[in-house]
Structure 1
Amino acid sequence: MATDPRRKRQALLRRMVREAKKQAAPEGPHYLEQYCVLVLTGKLIACQKIKLLCAMLLDKIRHPEKYTPYVFDLEEANRHITFVETFCRQPQGRLGEPIRLELFQKARWQAIFGFVHQATGLRQYKECMIVEGRKNGKTTEIAAMEIDLLVNDGEGAPEIYNIATKREQAGKAFEACCNMRQQSPELAGAIRKRQSDLYFAPNMGFIRVLASSTNSLDGLNAHGILIDELAAIKNRQIYDDMKQSQSARQQPLLFSISTNGFVREGIFDAQYEYAAGVLDGSIDDDTFLPWIYELDKREEYPKEKYWIKSNPGIDTIKSREFLRQMVKKAKHDQSFLPTVLVKDFNLKENAQSAWLTWAECSNPATFDIAFDYCIGGFDASESIDLTAATALCMRLGDPHIYRRSMYWIPQAVLDLDAASGNRRERDSLAYSQYVKRGLMRAVPGNKIDKQVILDWFCELRDEGLYTLYIGYDPWHVDDSLLARFKGEFGERCMIPVRQGTYSLSQPMKDLKADLGAGHVVDNNNPIDKICLLNTEVKSDINGNIQPVKSNDPRRRIDGTVALICAYKVLQDKMDDYIRLNKEAPIND
């Protein structure tokens, strides 16, 4: 039986820790090896993901025979660092001073540029993802990387693009490039500032700004793509298109630096999960280099010794005293705490107004179990909104609640986005991808016929899963639809769930506890998670709660409402559900 790749990666970490303690890094410009040894021996506190990466990189340096055809070329690795520290100047703050990369920056630059194919000399790593706390020098580093790729990478007519969610954000790094050029006599003489770009005549290359709202990317031939604040980009299409634009280049580089953010289930989360897979060995991609600086546990944030885990530039680039002030404020201001946890420590959190934390919304567990009975719930839209339905199942002696969901969207909504060339689908979510994956269905026309909900529960019945009761908001259900449901599932099947604190407060509090305990298993459905993340609460003077939408109409909560309706009915009808399960044992 093949060894689990995650176990192999953990074994490699343990072995390289032992080796690092026995064999110190050599003196001189072996920055990557020095950094890896410091991390693995515990002299430099680092998170688990950085330890895994350092173990792999140190093994590649010291045991190159295992990683053919790639080798580590120290001279090539340092050529790029030397260029930056010789010609680039600080674009802000200490204007004009030479840039001096910190050890952690030199280590990752050596990793990016130092591993090359032993026959062709071409770079191994085509993409580098960096996640670090804010104010660790990312804008300056991006600008230096852009100029290096333009002038010093040996590429003919290199096209270098700076990308962010808005042109203004992308323009910050571009402005830093312009300032860096202006502060350096050598660069100012070699690089020409044109109206829309920086142009290097000797190789006919340029640096240019792109925003994620750009519609047409045809004809681009990118050599370098620099993404500032990946977590703020809500639609992954520009990432996918720009990545494809590098296909004609021999050694392109896509370089992204970002803090974590509050936009969930977007390109950042997808890339983060991909990076985590590369690090733990579950994903095999030897061209992707992830540097993920983060706290390992939420409880670490008040302890200063752990701050370096997510802030590698603390004390040299980022002010420790300023971070102290932020943490102190967060301890006394719970509405500010999520911002500090996300932006300074790269933890996944929701805004304070949210009903649930990120951890409560996230359960990666999956199931493949056949059930006989379920309790249903749905939230029917008025016209063009989403419609959601869910089915909850339980097993005797098992505290878990197993959830299946379906969502519907009008086909006209998807068609309108496609016809207009809108790069951001409705609500900035990948609805068309969810339809392809079978998590959502597109309904012909421009509004949703509520009959689709009944049809779905009938499909479950045809599979052998019979719906005993269905919770629903009576505000959105007319007598005709109600009669059709009763005709299919019996006169007593439909249970109205009034939307207010009296009906929903206690079920919501109990559901929150079950979600926090990991008892609700939804096969890691991204739409379920998004709806939970979007849900906010309104409280009365007695602390009773009910769900509410945020002021942002794009933040859909339809799946949450369907879940709450089903959960309340499950609580109220638990005795019936258990009795039927005893009479007809559930199939595994």
Structure 2
Amino acid sequence: MIQAQAPNVQAEPYSYNGTHSFLLEYIFKCKNGEITIGHELMTQLDMLIEHFNNPEIKIDFEDGHKRIKFIETKCKHFEAPFAGKPFILELFQKAFVEAIYIFQIYDDEINRWIRLHQDVLFLVARKNGKTPLISAICLAEFFCGEIGTRILCSSNDYEQADLMFQAINSMREESKSLSKVTRSNIKGIFFGNPKKPKKTGKFSYKNKGQIKKISAKTGAKEGKNIRVGAVDEVHELKDNTSIMPIRQAVSTQDEPLYIELTTEGVINEGYLDERLREARKVLNGELDRPRWLIWLYTQDSEREVWKNEDMWVKSNPGLGVIKKRSFLKKMVEESKTSKSMRVFVMSKDFNIKQNNATAWLTTEDIKNEDTFNLEEFRNCFGIGGVDLSKTGDLTSARVILMRSGDPKKYIVQMYFIPESKIKNLSVADKKLFKEWIQDGYLTVSPGNENDFSLVTAWFVKLYKEYGIRVFKTGYDKWSAVYWRKEMEEYGFDTERVAQDWSLSEPMKLVEADLKSNLIVYNNNPIDKWCFENTALNFNSKMDMMPKKVQGQDNKKIDGAVTTIIAYKIYSDNRSEFMQLVGR
């Protein structure tokens, strides 16, 4: 347990100079085991308790407690199941707010005391209220901060940035006292109410403070003079190109506040990886960054996740109050049997880094030595899937066939590659590809690019030789206009399937069917190779899509992609297709 040795700390361990400190209370309860946290957060708390003894650091609770009071009295939740209820902060949230604001150092350049922590990294598992909390802090800063405070919400994509902005705006709208002195439009949130305008003062049009949103894909970020920058889900950022303009934009302020909030991710050597490496050097005493508040809710090992659910709170401080324990139990149970679920749960629910080199499927998942003869499916209907490659790359085409009363999906497939591509392969790959060509798994297009008419010819051949009629074919390349027209001239119905998060559900179904041995792909070696090469990409909504393993562009995933595309067409048209199968 912490010994309160600072001269100004009172006998009551949660008090400093007669003021109750939520941070001290949190530290003491973590130290005596009443609250369970991980080693990394404990290290930061140990560093913070030393500030109470440091004569060069002044402790001033006014700004922190003012913002805590603002959040609890002015802000209301806007989403179920807490919609309309006051935003009453948990102890860990109050301690976090205090840690940002109460420590001050004297700045000789501007000749006054200023906030110590100007850079904040907040890592916590999903569904623990991180976005609402930071949104509430931003809104509190907007109202409690100085006149002209400009705040910028950012993220990797516009939708995620909008989540924080909408959280701020919804809290503003829920409060009559806040909404009557502000206004919002598509450009942002501003002071001044057009219906009841004030001529002067903080809540008038003369206050040029504003809250806006941008994404990593938004241009013209340089030149913005902001006081508060908050970047959500930084784990999705590949580098610091979208971060640096925001950090530079706050540099002109005497007391800027730059906050990064996130869960762990799966991007290899991305921005968060580098940021966490630096953060851990600070915690280990290898790097001096006194202005940086590093607040990490992390597990001490993956083993404790599986062995002791009492340890889950280390990465989930809101467990049981904000985040349902039953929900997390369900996620953990599902992750025991699903590789994709495990990757997601470990990174998003426990902040345990998952390498995006992690394969989507295991060897056992892929293994299926069942075979079939196309004669068995003479005059049947099928679902098509095509991945039309870039110039000089692999192209894949396949048809899913089914039988009435049989849950299995039987796949006939063909791959295509330009002749020039074979010449540029490594010795090992060249040998492999030549074997596939010889065995009839791979068709070679003359020259430097794939001839998509050979893909059309393959579908036509299935019909002419076996009477297999393809009900509908999904394809991913929007620019393949002539191929689509050619297919339609032969009477094939085609439908573009974007390679985006809409592939999530069919991808999950492919995984489940492979694990259940319900996909019979005739033991095709290229299919097997593509499945083995496929890695996972996730977003914050738990959607997934296939991707290449980072740094291994020579490993192809086209066969996995076309399987998922075909499954997307199957899922969207299942009722009509099964009627055709049952004829």
Counterpart residue number, 1:106: 94
Matches within 5 A, 1:467-486: 475-476=423-424
Q: Is the 8 A contact 2:237 2:271 kept in 1?
A: yes
Q: Is the 8 A contact 1:91 1:140 kept in 2?
A: no
CA separation in 2, counterparts of 1:24 and 1:117? 26
1:232 aligns with 2:217: no
Counterpart residue number, 2:269: 265
Q: Is the 8 A contact 1:231 1:258 kept in 2?
A: yes
| Aligned-pair CA distance for 1:540 | 6.4
Counterpart residue number, 1:223: 227
Aligned residue identity for 1:137: G
Q: Is the 8 A contact 1:115 1:124 kept in 2?
A: yes
1:112-132 per-residue CA deviation (whole Å, 9 max, x = no partner) reads: 011112562311111111110
Select which of 328, 332, 339 maps to 1:323. 328
Select which of 347, 350, 366 maps to 1:345. 350
Counterpart residue number, 1:90: 77
CA separation in 1, counterparts of 2:51 and 2:323? 31
1:144 aligns with 2:136: yes
CA separation in 2, counterparts of 1:160 and 1:237? 19
| Aligned-pair CA distance for 1:329 | 1.5
Q: Is the 8 A contact 1:17 1:41 kept in 2?
A: no
Deviates more, 1:73-82 or 1:46-55: 73-82
| Aligned-pair CA distance for 1:541 | 9.0
Aligned residue identity for 1:158: T
SS at match of 1:255: strand
Counterpart residue number, 1:165: 156
Counterpart residue number, 1:198: 189
1:268-296 per-residue CA deviation (whole Å, 9 max, x = no partner) reads: 11111121122111110111111111111
Aligned residue identity for 1:340: V
Instruction: Tell me: CA distance 1:384–1:272, structure 2 relative to 1, closer, same or farther (3 Å).
Output: farther
| Aligned-pair CA distance for 1:53 | 0.5
Instruction: Tell me: CA distance 1:282–1:559, structure 2 relative to 1, closer, same or farther (3 Å).
Output: farther
SS at match of 1:307: helix
Instruction: Tell me: CA distance 1:556–1:298, structure 2 relative to 1, closer, same or farther (3 Å).
Output: closer
Counterpart residue number, 2:36: 45
Q: Is the 8 A contact 1:474 1:498 kept in 2?
A: no
| Aligned-pair CA distance for 1:187 | 0.5
Select which of 54, 70, 74 maps to 1:64. 54
CA separation in 1, counterparts of 2:23 and 2:392? 54
1:81-130 per-residue CA deviation (whole Å, 9 max, x = no partner) reads: 11211211112222222111111011110010111125623111111111
| Aligned-pair CA distance for 1:335 | 3.0
| Aligned-pair CA distance for 1:160 | 0.5
Counterpart residue number, 2:341: 336
Matches within 5 A, 1:433-448: none
Runs (5+) with no aligned partner, structure 1: 1-14, 357-381, 386-472, 479-493, 503-537, 562-588
Aligned residue identity for 2:289: D
Aligned residue identity for 1:293: Y
| Aligned-pair CA distance for 1:26 | 2.4
Aligned residue identity for 1:64: N
Aligned residue identity for 1:160: I
1:227-246 per-residue CA deviation (whole Å, 9 max, x = no partner) reads: 11111223421101110111
1:448-474 per-residue CA deviation (whole Å, 9 max, x = no partner) reads: xxxxxxxxxxxxxxxxxxxxxxxxx99
Select which of 109, 117, 121 maps to 1:125. 117
SS at match of 1:301: helix
- Please provide the CA RMSD for this pair: 3.8
Q: Is the 8 A contact 2:423 2:430 kept in 1?
A: no
Counterpart residue number, 2:533: 548
CA separation in 1, counterparts of 2:38 and 2:434? 42
Counterpart residue number, 2:61: 74
| Aligned-pair CA distance for 1:184 | 0.5
TM superposition score normalised by structure 2: 0.59
Aligned residue identity for 2:313: I
Runs of 4+ with deviation above 3 angstroms? 15-20, 382-385, 494-502, 538-561
Q: Is the 8 A contact 1:222 1:245 kept in 2?
A: yes
Q: Is the 8 A contact 1:125 1:288 kept in 2?
A: yes
Instruction: Tell me: CA distance 1:548–1:224, structure 2 relative to 1, closer, same or farther (3 Å).
Output: same
Select which of 274, 289, 304 maps to 2:309. 304
1:531-557 per-residue CA deviation (whole Å, 9 max, x = no partner) reads: xxxxxxx99699997963668677554
Aligned residue identity for 1:136: N
Q: Is the 8 A contact 2:268 2:550 kept in 1?
A: no
SS at match of 2:138: helix
Aligned residue identity for 1:275: A
Structure label with greater radius of gyration: 2
Instruction: Tell me: CA distance 1:236–1:384, structure 2 relative to 1, closer, same or farther (3 Å).
Output: farther
Counterpart residue number, 2:463: none
Aligned residue identity for 2:114: L
Q: Is the 8 A contact 1:91 1:177 kept in 2?
A: no
CA separation in 1, counterparts of 2:434 and 2:343? 26
Matched residues, number? 385
Q: Is the 8 A contact 2:142 2:149 kept in 1?
A: yes
Q: Is the 8 A contact 1:224 1:253 kept in 2?
A: yes
Matches within 5 A, 1:474-513: 475-476=423-424, 498-499=431-432
1:487-538 per-residue CA deviation (whole Å, 9 max, x = no partner) reads: xxxxxxx999845899xxxxxxxxxxxxxxxxxxxxxxxxxxxxxxxxxxx9
| Aligned-pair CA distance for 1:17 | 7.3
Q: Is the 8 A contact 2:231 2:261 kept in 1?
A: yes
| Identity level (%) | 26
Counterpart residue number, 2:23: 32
1:178 aligns with 2:166: no
SS at match of 2:113: coil
CA separation in 2, counterparts of 1:319 and 1:501? 55
Runs (5+) with no aligned partner, structure 2: 193-201, 363-389, 394-420, 436-520, 536-544, 556-583
Counterpart residue number, 2:490: none
CA separation in 1, counterparts of 2:550 and 2:24? 48
